[in-house]
Amino acid sequence: MEQDNFSRWRNKKVMVSGKKRTALGRMEIFLPRGGQPGRCYYSDETEHGLGPGPVRLSFAFGDAFAYQNGPLESEQLLFGSLNVFEESEYIPGMPPVDIGAILFQDRGTFKVGIRLASSIPQKQIVIYWWAETLEELEPEEKDTPTEAATEEFFIENAPKFLRKGMKYQFQCALPKGYDGPVHWKVLGQGGGSIDHNGMYTAPNVQGVFQIEASLDDQEKKTTVYIMIKE
């Protein structure tokens, strides 16, 4: 069975909701050969942002308009078997696609695979994904600011992965009116180093590591996970 690896990771948000941490995002899996029946296509390994450990993954497809017109926000999302709505009036033209995923618990990442049941004219498949921690947060963690409270302060240019020993300049989107410094640090041991300007140096080992940025008052903090490869 032939297969292709060709995808683009679009965006991701991590938030606290009730007793659990959740993340959501969108990716595009491109069909460079026009989408052939029986062919499998795979995404790149994608960091979900919740760190190592077990999480619950869910996936949905956008409607036919999103497929035909590129990476647009879809008004309708379809969960489960696409064949159910293939010929319906609700989402006409929805291509028949099977989907599966592998979760790499030790790295905090996952990989998505799709298989086409028939030829389709679309050049990419848009997939929306959700990840949720299985364990409830400890009491002190429940006070973590929600996305609504921290949406103006976040690390805005985190890469999907870096190679061992690479350097990378991190940046933050800051709250309105804030003109103070951003304090950077790598959480845990062995995750490399980062200076006061956000210049990160990756370690010489593979793994998933967490980087934190905070403001002067230390009340607002934001983190990202970065995967280090060979």
Please name which of 80, 83, 64 lies closest in space to residue 124, comparing C-alpha atoms: 64
Q: What pTM was estimated for this model as a whole?
A: 0.52
Cα–Cα distance measured from residue 15 to residue 7, given in angstroms and rounded to the nearest whole number? 24
Q: What is the CATH number of the domain that holds 168?
A: 2.60.40.1080
Same domain, 153 and 200: yes
Q: Chain centroid to CA 73: how far?
A: 16
Task: With cut-offs at 50, 70 and 90, classify the pLDDT of residue 1.
Answer: very low
Helix, strand or coil for residue 174?
A: coil
Domain final residue, candidates 133, 163, 184: 133
* Closest by CA position to 137, among listed 48, 51, 13: 51
Q: What pLDDT is stored for residue 120 in this prediction?
A: 72
- The answer to whether 200 touches 170, Cβ cutoff 8 Å, is yes
Q: Helix, strand, or coil here: 164?
A: coil
- For residue 224, tell me if it sits in a domain: yes
Give residue 123's pLDDT: 75
Domain end among 104, 133, 162 = 133
Question: Residue 158 is part of which domain span?
Answer: 145-229
- Specify the 3-state DSSP secondary structure of 165: coil
Token representation of residue 114: 């799709």
Domain boundary among 71, 100, 133: 133
Per the model's pLDDT, the better-predicted residue between 31 and 1 turns out to be 31
Structural domain contains residue 138: no
In DSSP terms, which residues pair with 61 in a beta bridge? 78, 127
Q: How many separate domains does the chain show?
A: 2
187 within a domain of the structure (yes/no): yes
Residues 7 and 121 in one domain: yes
Is residue 24 in a domain? yes
- Which tokens is 130 given? 């959700």
pLDDT tens sequence across 78-133: 676 666 666 666 655 556 778 899 999 988 889 999 888 777 777 777 788 888 88
Residues 110, 165, single domain; the answer is: no
For residues 189 and 27, give the distance between their C-alpha atoms in angstroms, rounded to a whole number: 31
